[in-house]
Structure 1
Amino acid sequence: MTGRPVADDASRLGLGGRIAMLFAVGGLLVSSLLAISTLVMTRRQLVESREGAAAAMAVGNATRLSNQLTPDSTIEDLPTIADSLTRLEGGQRIIRLGDDWLPAPELDHDDLPLDLLERLEQRAAGQVLAPVRGDPHFVVGIPLTAFDADYYAVVDLVEVSDTLADLRIILLGAGAVTTVLAALLGSWASTRVLRPLRRIRGAAEAIAGGRLDTRLSPQADPDLDRLSDSFNEMARALEDRIHRDARFASDVSHELRSPLTTLMAGVGVLDARRDELSERSRTALDLLVQDLERFNRLVNELMEISGYDAGVADLDLSEVDVVRFLQATVAADPALVLTIPPTTGSLVINADKRRLARVMANLLDNARRYGGGATAVILEHDETIRIAVEDEGPGVPKTERHEIFDRFARGS
């Protein structure tokens, strides 16, 4: 037994939604890549520019300091010399002369990186990017080889860090905007791409609703044009098949009508003279009458079905009071209970009363045959009128609830 396809929860997002999400993810990836590249290049340029300026200033100041020092210079002489040195915004200098240190206004020699101090002890110049008191700094150390002295330039990189932080915020905002714009572009693109599919869906729904002459117009795209031709060919074949079936059913019904009428007339003559028949013959006549009436009903239903299939069936609409109609329906069976909301007044609808009565008769007959007998008829109404027939049966299994409305379908 083939089951109905079950929708996967992961595929509940429509094709248009998946296209928009794909565009959004693509936009996010591209914007992230550009943002990272921009941030790395900008950081490199800012830091290298700051480091180059600091290194050049340190070399120049160290040379000038070495030229102004004498073998008799002491730590007390350094402030006057230091004040004449070149300054860089955010930069400070620390000078060692012998065992004495000339600190900067905000820093002391204890704040200098240890690895740089060790390097200068070996009388080698060096530079390092390191945190000083919690903030990033660029530190340059140059030994003064003519004296037992060292010059250190400490340049603050907080401004560079703030600039990069602002740039990160800007790039993050730009990435978010790019992602949203990409999603909107994907939504617009999916709308245009899926428009032909929506037309095909509309045509398929129209055919399913009975408009068998529905066709698709030529498409602008060659691939879609071939799809449109295939769909139209399928719809044309389906229409021809349904019309052939309807004509066959109509032809069979009409062919059966004439002999059935003759049989009904002959049985009517026999029934009029049933008193002249024996008991056994009357019993056979009753069975024949019942079978002919059932056969006549089946032929009429077959003709009506063929009329619906051919699209020529008309409804005989008239005003029907639903409450009185249901009261008349249950009156024939004392075991039936009619349940109507207490506030219900007169419910008048336009309906084909004969066909509505046949629907109720079919429901009650099915309940009698397959549900242990009908027990109640329930009327519910708000914006929609619902009529339910309750019975003693187990109900229709969920796997068969889609098939019970097919013609001649029977439950398990």
Structure 2
Amino acid sequence: MNSINPEIRPVQARTRPRRRARIIVPVRRRFGLRTRLTVTFALGAAVLSSLLSAITFGLTRENLTTQRERSAVERAAVDAARIPAQLPDVPTNLEIEQLLRDIPLTDGAAAALSYRGRWFTTNTQSFGSDTVPTSIQSAVDDGEAIKLHAKVNEKSSLILGVPVPALPGGYYEAVPITDLQRTLDRLMLTLFIASLLTTAGGGLVGYWASRRVFAPLLDVGTAAEAIAGGRLDTRLPVGGDSDLDLIANPFNEMAQALEDRIDRDARFASEVSHELRSPLMTIAATVEVLENTRDELPERAQTALSLLAADVDRLQQLVEDLLEISRFDVGAIKLHLEDVRAAEMVIQAVRVLGGGGVPVRFEPEVGEVMVRVDKRRFGRVIANLLDNAERYAGGATAITIERVQELLRVSVEDRGNGVPIEERDIIFDRFSRGAEGGNRSNDSGVGLGLALVDEHVRLHGGRVWVDERFDGEIGARFVVELPIIEPPADSAIETLIEPVNLM
């Protein structure tokens, strides 16, 4: 590790009551609006497809069953009508059995004939007097043709009964309808799959529709994010859709009002700072003259002079910081970017501050890493971090430079009490000094140092945050992260020789 210890010198109304704002608390939902819209489309498609499938299946089953029953009844009636003509007046059992076997039945069908109390059948094992329900037998005996769905030999069948008055007797047929049941089962499966596909299609249509519907909202979110990032001139397009203009016009008016307000505030801060600068310089010069004659002043006057000098320095710092902040607000910052070795830049910035003994640590290969920065502003970043450590944490203990993939991290550690987690985001806000600040007796800061650090780092495409120390000791670690650049092979790398102006 390289360790360099440069000497670093320590840097030393009544309000009107506000109306209570009306707060609208949104209902917390488990799923997002786009998800709910997609699910709604899918459920709608599922309900509609299921309803249509049920209607289709019911009508188809009714139609096929009716056709099959009509055909079977007509065939049974024809077969029953032929029996008296084909039997002699006193038929034998063999003649009746032969007649039944000669009837052209469909595959798997069975026929039976009741004649003078006796039963004859083509399938004695599965169809006979014991198989035919008594309700059918009674109806046939009463001279009524009848049909009934029942199980014959564990198969779904249509049992038909036709009276034959000429014998007298009755003719019965058992027609299997398993093929019809298979057809209906296949139809049900097909309709079920179609319903699933329709549901999936409805979900896809819902997702597509949600993207189209929420595209303007995404534009609003993008525009709001751009405004939050400092692009105050961002506006939403109007005139394309009268309904969307109801959102775009108020948004643009709000953005314009915000831009005007920020411009007014920035101009006010800039003008006030400029107006204060001249009298402050006069006061500072007067204080300097008095400092030269301090020994001639009474003791009480010397104490008052010391307090005055400290307050003048504090006020001058506030004015300079306000001027710098106002330049950020109005977009008047111009960077003079140069490619430099980051380690040398940090060392040079620490040396310019003078005094101290803060070690700068980095691996040898990190010493050759280059970044593209504005030297003055990057030096101001290091100066503000060291000054912050001096004011609130008893001084910096070390500066560590490391490379993390294509990023360079410069960490400034201190020996203070650390920064509470709840303050780590707001500590970079303007005029925020955290729990360790705010005591005028030992703090001359104004709460703009870290805000300027954040603004400078963001201008260079980086970010800054605060964390715990590497070694686990009590204290804070402020980390500046910048993108690394690769130097051209045939170019000379600039070495810092002249001191960097941090003001």
Report matched runs for 1:123-272 at 5 Å.
Answer: 123=142, 125-145=145-165, 147=167, 149-272=169-292
1:322 to 317, 342, 354: 342
1:91 alignment counterpart: 109
1:50 to 68, 71, 78: 68
CA distance in structure 2 between the aligned counterparts of 1:25 and 1:94, rounded to whole angstroms: 53
1:353 alignment counterpart: 375
Once the two structures are superposed, residues 140-186 of structure 1 have per-residue CA deviations (whole angstroms, 9 ceiling, x without a partner) of 12344555643221112121122222222332333333333333333
Runs of 5+ consecutive residues of structure 2 not aligned to the other structure: 1-20, 436-503
Deviation at 1:7, TM superposition (A): 10
Letter in 2 for 1:75: N
TM-score, reference length from structure 2: 0.70
Letter in 2 for 1:344: V
2:325 alignment counterpart: 305
Deviation at 1:268, TM superposition (A): 2.1
2:426 to 400, 403, 406: 403
Runs of 5+ consecutive residues of structure 1 not aligned to the other structure: none
Deviation at 1:302, TM superposition (A): 0.3
Q: Would the aligned equivalents of 1:319 and 1:351 in 2 still touch at CA under 8 Å?
A: yes
Cα 1:187–1:121 change in 2 (3 A) is closer
Q: Would the aligned equivalents of 2:111 and 2:127 in 1 still touch at CA under 8 Å?
A: no
Once the two structures are superposed, residues 18-49 of structure 1 have per-residue CA deviations (whole angstroms, 9 ceiling, x without a partner) of 33332222222222221111111111111111
Q: From the two aligned structures, give the one with the greater helix fraction.
A: 1
* Greater Cα shift, 206-215 or 17-26: 17-26
2:83 alignment counterpart: 65
SS in 2 for 1:95: strand
SS in 2 for 1:34: helix
TM-score, reference length from structure 1: 0.84
2:424 matches 1:393:
no
Identity of aligned residues (%): 40
CA distance in structure 2 between the aligned counterparts of 1:337 and 1:110, rounded to whole angstroms: 111
1:103 alignment counterpart: 122
Once the two structures are superposed, residues 334-371 of structure 1 have per-residue CA deviations (whole angstroms, 9 ceiling, x without a partner) of 4x665646763422212233433443444445555556
Deviation at 1:258, TM superposition (A): 1.0
CA distance in structure 2 between the aligned counterparts of 1:44 and 1:261, rounded to whole angstroms: 102
Q: Would the aligned equivalents of 1:128 and 1:138 in 2 still touch at CA under 8 Å?
A: yes
Q: Would the aligned equivalents of 2:270 and 2:322 in 1 still touch at CA under 8 Å?
A: yes
User: When the two structures are aligned, how many residues end up with a matched partner?
Assistant: 406
Letter in 2 for 1:297: Q
CA distance in structure 2 between the aligned counterparts of 1:299 and 1:49, rounded to whole angstroms: 98
SS in 2 for 1:28: helix
Once the two structures are superposed, residues 103-149 of structure 1 have per-residue CA deviations (whole angstroms, 9 ceiling, x without a partner) of 33884327835454664586454321123333321111234455564
CA distance in structure 2 between the aligned counterparts of 1:150 and 1:377, rounded to whole angstroms: 111
CA distance in structure 2 between the aligned counterparts of 1:66 and 1:402, rounded to whole angstroms: 104
Q: Would the aligned equivalents of 1:372 and 1:393 in 2 still touch at CA under 8 Å?
A: no
2:97 to 79, 82, 93: 79
1:35 to 19, 40, 53: 53
* Greater Cα shift, 251-260 or 370-379: 370-379
Q: Would the aligned equivalents of 1:75 and 1:102 in 2 still touch at CA under 8 Å?
A: no
Once the two structures are superposed, residues 204-234 of structure 1 have per-residue CA deviations (whole angstroms, 9 ceiling, x without a partner) of 2222222222222223322222322212211
Q: Would the aligned equivalents of 1:16 and 1:187 in 2 still touch at CA under 8 Å?
A: yes
* Greater Cα shift, 36-45 or 311-320: 311-320
Report matched runs for 1:377-388 at 5 Å.
Answer: 377-380=399-402, 381-388=404-411
Cα 1:364–1:144 change in 2 (3 A) is farther
Q: Would the aligned equivalents of 1:96 and 1:149 in 2 still touch at CA under 8 Å?
A: yes
2:458 alignment counterpart: none
